[in-house]
Amino acid sequence: MRLTDFKALTFDCYGTLIDWESGIADGLSRLASKASHQLSRDQVLEAHARHESDQQQLTPKLPYNQLLAIVYKRLAEEWSSPYELDDAQAYGESVKNWPAFPDSASTLQYLAKYFKLVIVSNVDNESFRASKAKLAVEFDAVVTAEDVGSYKPSARNFECMFDALSSMGIQKGESLHVADSIFHDLAPAGELGIPSCWIHRRFKQRGFGATMRSSIEPVVDYRFTSMAQLVKAHHEELARN
């Protein structure tokens, strides 16, 4: 299908629209500086990904801001870094301060003229409300891990996404899932037969950063390195039509 054929765009939020790697690195900088050994930015992000994914499997119904506080404690133990309970709780609340990518708000405002926009995110509702303000657009539906009671890559989250789309009269195959993470989004989208678009934010960097490593190259319908490139491709299709 062409981009102009889709009726809806479904988005991962953190890593795709919100610069969570900057938020994570900033939020853990003090803890990492007290570690028993020197840590690079990518080492901090990769350790976070490992503990986050493990905790999401252990406590799938725990809201994300509370889960992050546990991740903070686990990282402190791994790095032999002293911390206070308030530090862990503050890190859980720091999602509200994570910045949007510079191209997110303007591109979403453009895309809202042509598509229904849906969020499918591993986040709690309170944190997302703060992030939504940075994105400066009204979404037609929001599906959070807190609402579903599980975290992506669980198929349950995507099934709830299908329910939200169906309520708008949009069938499977008429929406395009836009995401950065292979592990959380693109791999399960492929397994479920969901058309997908890879916003490869880390294209200039090695490794997988704050997401779990994947041994597969995702099979996607579109691949861009920014939201701005997605908008440019859509605009060019409209011009050709």
Cα 193 to Cα 57: distance, rounded to the nearest angstrom: 24
Backbone CA torsion sign across 179, 45, 202, 132: positive
Q: Is-catalytic flag, 124?
A: no
**List 12, 124, 140, 180, catalytic entry:** 12
For 141, list phi and psi in degrees, rounded to 5: -160, 150
The 3-state secondary structure of 38-89 reads: CCCHHHHHHHHHHHHHHHHHHCCCCCHHHHHHHHHHHHHHHHCCCCCHHHHH
Torsion angle, alpha carbons of 223, 227, 233, 235, to 10: 160
Cα 134 to Cα 90: distance, rounded to the nearest angstrom: 20
Cα 220 to Cα 186: distance, rounded to the nearest angstrom: 7
For the annotated catalytic residues, the residue numbers are 12
